[in-house]
Amino acid sequence: TQLLEQSPQFLSIQEGENLTVYCNSSSVFSSLQWYRQEPGEGPVLLVTVVTGGEVKKLKRLTFQFGDARKDSSLHITAAQPGDTGLYLCAGGSGYALNFGKGTSLLVTP
C-alpha cells in the first residue's frame, strides 16, 4: 500500500491569511490528486498533477508536485471562509486510489 501522510492535520486561520498544506510519501506516484470535502458531502476533485515539478493554479489555490513525484503541496492565498473543508490528497496505481487522512481547514471571518 502506498501511504500518503498529510500535514498539518488541523489548521485554523483567519480570513485573508495564506497557508500551505503538505502531502508526503516514500512512494513514487504517476500522478497525485487533491480533493476537498465539505461536511456531509463526498470529496470533490480539485486538481490532478502528473509531471514532476508541475505547478497548477486554480484561482487562489496553487498545487505543486515534487520533482521526484513523491510529494505535493497546496498553497492557498488570502483564504476565505468558503475554503473551509477537509483537503485530501490521493494517489495510486491503476484506478484505485489511496487517500491521506487529510488536513481539516477552518477559515474564520
Number of residues that bind other proteins (CB under 8 A): 18
Given the complex with other proteins, which of 45 and 58 has the nearer CB atom? 45
Site string for other proteins, 8-47 (x = CB under 8 A): -----------------------x-x------xxxxxx--
Cα 46 to Cα 15: distance, rounded to the nearest angstrom? 21
- With CB under 8 A as the contact rule, which of the stretches 10-18, 59-67, 76-84, 98-106 interacts with other proteins? 98-106
Cα 87 to Cα 104: distance, rounded to the nearest angstrom? 6
Instruction: Report which DSSP code applies to 59.
Output: T
- The residue among 71, 88, 94, 90 whose CA lies nearest residue 37 is 88
Q: Does residue 35 contact residue 74 with C-beta atoms inside 8 Å?
A: no
- The residue among 31, 44, 17 whose CA lies nearest residue 107 is 17
Rounded to a whole number of angstroms, the minimum distance from the CB of residue 42 to other proteins is 3
Given the complex with other proteins, which of 5 and 62 has the nearer CB atom? 5
Q: Is 85 in the site for other proteins (CB under 8 A)?
A: no
Please identify which residue in 63, 69, 100, 103 interacts with other proteins, judged by CB under 8 A.
100
Cα 90 to Cα 106: distance, rounded to the nearest angstrom? 21
Binding site for other proteins (CB under 8 A): 31, 33, 40-45, 48, 88, 95-102
